[in-house]
Amino acid sequence: MADSVSKQLDELKVQLEPLQSSRASALRESEERARQLAAIVESSDDSIVATDLNRRITSWNRGAERLFGYTAQETLRMPIAAIVPDDRRSEELAIFERFQRGERIDPFDTVRRHKDGHLIDVSLSVSPLRNLDGQIVGACSVTRDITERKRTEKRVAMLALEAEHRTKNVLQAVQTIVRLSQARTPEELKSVIEGRIRALANAHGLLAQTRWVGADLGTLARQELAPYLQQERKRARIEGPHIPVPPSVAQGIAVILHELTTNAAKYGALSAINGYVEINWYRESEDRLVLTWTETGGPTVAEPVHKGFGTQVIEGLITVDLGGLLQFDWRAEGLVCQLEFHV
């Protein structure tokens, strides 16, 4: 009888050995997966935090340490509310209620608090944690630092506003040019407007090179008088300190220099072989600039009885648009024009 029982036990052991081996193998695989998962969580750049149903922290990975400044030991059983700003407490309560119902909270942008008190822009997602019976026992939140993304979004928004502002300024400048432009014939009017808009475009090209910080006054002058500076015998002299003028001023000065150059080429010094133009400027004060345009060697000059169209444009730009002062001195040897404006 004893031999029979012993024999049956041996047979049962033989039958159980594959099952035990299979269970041991499954257990090893499960443990290995758990270790891999733990390694992934620990090495993640994102903050991965687990909390219980009392909203106290039960797990805190290295990503959370880097993002929030607390060590895992410091956060053990610490309320998750410690990293939630006061004005976001209602948000945190709403998240808690949702994951208790088994809902997953998809990533959304919010703000959390660092250990030292500063606020961090983050993307947050929350999932319920369940035990083997499927009961919810806590929550797992994944938090990603989006500070740089938010900075980029702000920069893009600022650039869009700046572009809108510049576009309006350009359109306003073009409207002023068109409004002040007059001529005897349609073709002449077309030529006048084209020349003034070209001067405006040249100024914008210089401003673009400096990312709209400002345009160098000397470069604006050399650009307008370029044909008279490239001849074997130069017909112009440009002298003054390096002074970048802001965009609103650069646009007006570019058109004014264009008007003075055009007038000199038609009726003044640049219309004669030996005519000569000199431009110089200096700072009268920290924020005020004086520019002088002097013509010599051209036809004898007399003060006109009526203001020309170009003169009206210059007066409108310097006194109205730039809030400056303008003085014409119609000397017999050549026109002297002095501009005074803020920079």
Q: Is residue 299 part of a domain?
A: yes
157 located within any domain: yes
Q: Residues 113, 244: one domain?
A: no
Q: Judge if 215 and 330 occupy the same domain.
A: yes
What percent of the chain has a predicted confidence (pLDDT) above 70? 76
Answer whether 123's CB lies under 8 Å from 109's CB: yes
Q: Are 263 and 135 in a shared domain?
A: no
Domain boundary among 92, 114, 145: 145
Domain contains 20: no
Beta pairing partners, 123: 109, 144
Residues 170 and 289 in one domain: yes
Average pLDDT, the chain: 82
Write the single-letter amino acid at 305.
Answer: V
What distance in Å separates the CA atoms of residue 184 and residue 342, rounded to the nearest whole number?
Answer: 34
- How far apart are the C-alpha atoms of 273 and 30, rounded to whole Å? 97
Q: Which domain holds residue 262?
A: 150-342
pLDDT-wise least confident of 188-197, 225-234, 265-274: 188-197
Residues 48 and 110 in one domain: yes
Final residue before a domain boundary, out of 118, 145, 172: 145
Same domain, 67 and 100: yes
Contact 128, 136 (CB under 8 A): yes
Q: Which residue has the higher pLDDT, 178 or 216?
A: 216
Q: How far apart are CA 250 and CA 343, in angstroms?
A: 9
Whether residues 304 and 244 fall in one domain: yes
End of a domain among 145, 176, 210?
Answer: 145
**Confidence at 157, pLDDT banded by 50, 70, 90:** confident
Residues 90, 196: one domain? no
- The domain tally of the chain equals 2
CATH number of the domain within which 64 lies: 3.30.450.20
> Beta-carbon neighbour count of residue 153 at 10 Å?
13
Task: Report the distance separating Cα 248 and Cα 250, nearest Å.
Answer: 6
Q: What are phi and psi of 300, to 5 degrees?
A: -60, 135
Same domain flag for 122 and 98: yes
In a domain, 328, yes or no: yes
Pair 187, 302 in one domain? yes
- CATH classification of the domain holding 168: 3.30.565.10
Per residue in 296-324, pLDDT (tens digit) is: 999 998 888 877 777 888 888 888 888 89
Q: How far apart are CA 173 and CA 76, in angstroms?
A: 64
C-alpha closest to that of 196 among 222, 227, 175, 218: 175
Q: Residue 140 is encoded by which pair of tokens?
A: 């797992």
pLDDT in tens, 34-58: 455 555 556 578 999 999 999 999 9
Q: Specify if 11 maps to a domain.
A: no
Q: In what order do the strands lie in the sheet with 105-113?
A: 57-60, 47-52, 136-145, 119-130, 105-113
Short-list 140, 119, 164, CA closest to 37: 140
- Taking the CB of residue 238, how many other CB atoms lie within 10 A of it? 19
Same domain? 223 vs 164: yes
Classify residue 243: in a domain, yes or no.
Answer: yes
User: Is 337 found in the same domain as 205?
Assistant: yes
